[in-house]
Amino acid sequence: MNRRSISVVIIFVIFVSLSSCTIDNKAIKPLSKDGFMLGTFVVINLYDQKDEKIIDEVFERLREIENRMSVNIEDSDISLVNKNAGIKPVKVHQDVYYVLKKAKYYSEISGGAFEPTIGPLVNLWGIGTGNERVPSEEEIRKSLIKVDFNKLHLLGNNEVFLDEKDMMIDLGGIAKGYAADEAKKILLDRGVKSAIIDLGGNIYALGSKPDGTPWRLGIQNPMISRSRNKVSHIGIFDGKNISVVTSGDYERYFEENGIRYHHIIDSKTGFPARNNVAGISVLSQDSIDGDALSTALFVLGLDEGLKLAEKIDGVDVIYITKDMKIYISSNLRGKFEITNEEFEMMTP
């Protein structure tokens, strides 16, 4: 499998008070396991259970999802659909079908900003593979023809078909969200009431801190990689049972002639999305929604993205622009506290 670089965790949970957090007045440390999965660094922390089997079960489920959805695994359902593009429908597992249905939905409501058939362009740019390069206009034009979610058909009986040869589904912008939701389900089934699921930027804060107070969640400074690797956050908010997913241009990218080419591609131009957004975080109940939306809202940019976010129930967003301004959706006003004075809160 082609393993690219481990992505740095985009949002982090503030454990400052947690390390001294108590249950029945006894200091408690999490039961923790980490590993490399879904092309990223995964950490599961349980704060109210000590049974390692629970975490092992989560890791097994994540591996199952990866095996079904990865484009880097030859016999994954997604690879089989891609290989049979323009040839014949392929029956996929219910997990895959569900994620594809969500992917189509978010493509539709974002006007193709979220684009699950982005595969040919992702391959062409090769960002994060070590073989990145700026393709020619001709190459981009040829790949663009193969990118269109309207040509992805979800048929009855869990069958999936891509209209044309060389079309390719890539679920890199949504499947980690689904994986986080499935991890959450297992933990809830096992009676866990206090846990953090961290799938390299997809965070799910389950329940509350062990003392019953909300998690303190911090949004990382997206300028970090440009400023001496100093880890810091720009703001914090409190949350219980909440997913926080961030998309940004500052983790998977390469630079040529002073231009940054990152991994979120605009299916209208074939180029990495170009706008003033440095990072966009989406708060939601289900992580699959947050994941698809974070990618879509990054491509749409601030104005259109905020408009779309405001229309969706149960979703809040935090946009950080390259000129160090913060824009939040109306529900979050008064709940998001800026902790870095270099950033300025704006009212859209």
Provide, rounded to whole angstroms, the least separation between the CB of residue 200 and ligand FAD: 6
Residue 90 vs 175, nearer CB to Mg ion: 175
Among 208, 98, 74, 213, residue whose Cα is nearest residue 160: 98
Provide, rounded to whole angstroms, the least separation between the CB of residue 38 and ligand FAD: 4
* Contacted by 263, from Mg ion, ligand FAD, none: CB < 5 to 8 Å by type: ligand FAD
Provide, rounded to whole angstroms, the least separation between the CB of residue 66 and ligand FAD: 5
Residue 178 vs 215, nearer CB to Mg ion: 178
Residue 76 vs 295, nearer CB to Mg ion: 295
Provide, rounded to whole angstroms, the least separation between the CB of residue 287 and ligand FAD: 11
φ and ψ of 269, to 5 deg:
-110, -25
Which residues contribute to the site for ligand FAD (CB under 6 A)? 1-4, 7, 38-40, 66, 69-70, 72, 114-116, 118, 122, 128, 170-173, 175-176, 201, 247, 251-252, 263-265, 267, 291, 294-295, 299
What strand order describes the sheet that includes 159-162?
A: 90-91, 159-162, 152-154
* Contacted by 265, from Mg ion, ligand FAD, none: CB < 5 to 8 Å by type: ligand FAD
Residue 120 vs 210, nearer CB to ligand FAD: 120
Which residues contribute to the site for Mg ion (CB under 5 A)? 173, 291, 294-295
Q: How far apart are CA 300 and CA 110, in angstroms?
A: 8
Residue nearest to Mg ion (CB): 295
Cβ count within 10 A of residue 339: 15
Q: How far apart are CA 22 and CA 18, in angstroms?
A: 8
* Contacted by 299, from Mg ion, ligand FAD, none: CB < 5 to 8 Å by type: ligand FAD
* Contacted by 106, from ligand FAD, Mg ion, none: CB < 5 to 8 Å by type: none
φ and ψ of 332, to 5 deg:
-85, -10
Residue 170 vs 316, nearer CB to ligand FAD: 170
Provide, rounded to whole angstroms, the least separation between the CB of residue 43 and Mg ion: 18
Q: Which residues pair with 321 in a beta bridge?
A: 277
Residue 39 vs 173, nearer CB to Mg ion: 173
Provide, rounded to whole angstroms, the least separation between the CB of residue 292 and Mg ion: 6
* Contacted by 114, from ligand FAD, Mg ion, none: CB < 5 to 8 Å by type: ligand FAD
Structure tokens at 8: 């740095």
* Contacted by 3, from ligand FAD, Mg ion, none: CB < 5 to 8 Å by type: ligand FAD
Provide, rounded to whole angstroms, the least separation between the CB of residue 20 and ligand FAD: 31
Provide, rounded to whole angstroms, the least separation between the CB of residue 11 and ligand FAD: 11
What strand order describes the sheet that includes 344-346?
A: 31-37, 40-46, 194-199, 202-207, 242-248, 277-284, 316-321, 325-328, 344-346
